[in-house]
Amino acid sequence: MLKAERASYIQNRLAELYPDPPVPLDHKDPYTLLIAVLLSAQCTDVRVNQITPLLFARADTPQEMAKLSVEEIQEIVRPCGLSPMKSKGIAGLSRILLNEHGGEVPADMEALEALPAVGHKTASVVMSQAFGVPAFPVDTHIHRLAQRWGLTSGKNVVQTERDLKRLFPKSSWNDLHLQIIFYGREHCSARGCDGTICEICRTVYPNRKHPKQTKKS
């Protein structure tokens, strides 16, 4: 298969498997999604969904969160890992939202990336899942699958995001990044497939004999 043929097959197959992919992080509005995505760094979505109800019971708006100390936030989010950085980020971005954005999460990539502890991937997720703006958040899992499927040769998530955006129509980005995540978890995980086992890997590279080594993100 040529790269364009692989991309077309993958998009169609993922649409069949996951026709309406849900947002994996529980939230009720852009602010609670932003906090959940920030907490998900190096943490599973399952764990985040266990912790956010405890945090949001105390504070689910920038106004309420700004009343909590960094120490109080850290005590709640500790099970998500990286709690010193995450708690400072949550406290800091809540104050900035109040002081600079009228207490609202801005639907603007540059403004989101300017918030404490909010990187490009987090901002992309919020733009995509909270505001419906086409974005293609790429984490290490999507990076791994894109390499296994021959969609990128990039050595990092920045190049992989650029390559995927060129390959797939903009209208598909928001669903597709979720579909790849779900497929990776269920069929093409780091340990469950090495580029030769799952359905999509075997279809796009039927003659591959050796495991596909992922270039580090």
Give pLDDT tens digits for 179-207. Answer: 999 999 999 999 999 999 999 999 999 99
Tokens representing 216 are 């580090």
Domain parsing of the chain, residue ranges: 3-21+136-204, 30-131
Tokens representing 21 are 């992919």
Annotated catalytic, 121? Answer: yes
Class of domain 30-131: mainly alpha
User: What are the φ and ψ backbone dihedral angles of 140, each rounded to 5 degrees?
Assistant: -65, -30
pLDDT at 148: 96
Q: pLDDT class for 216, splitting at 50, 70, 90? A: low
- Residue of 20, 28, 67, 139 with catalytic role: 139
pLDDT at 32: 98
pLDDT at 201: 98
pLDDT at 44: 94
Q: 100 and 4 in contact (C-beta within 8 Å)?
A: no
- Residue of 3, 121, 209, 212 with catalytic role: 121
Q: Which has the higher per-residue pLDDT, 50 or 213?
A: 50
CATH (residue range 3-21+136-204): 1.10.1670.10
Give pLDDT tens digits for 23-34. Answer: 999 999 999 999
Q: 93 and 54 in contact (C-beta within 8 Å)?
A: no
pTM score of the predicted model: 0.93
Q: What is the mean pLDDT of the chain?
A: 96
One fold for both 3-21+136-204 and 30-131? Answer: no
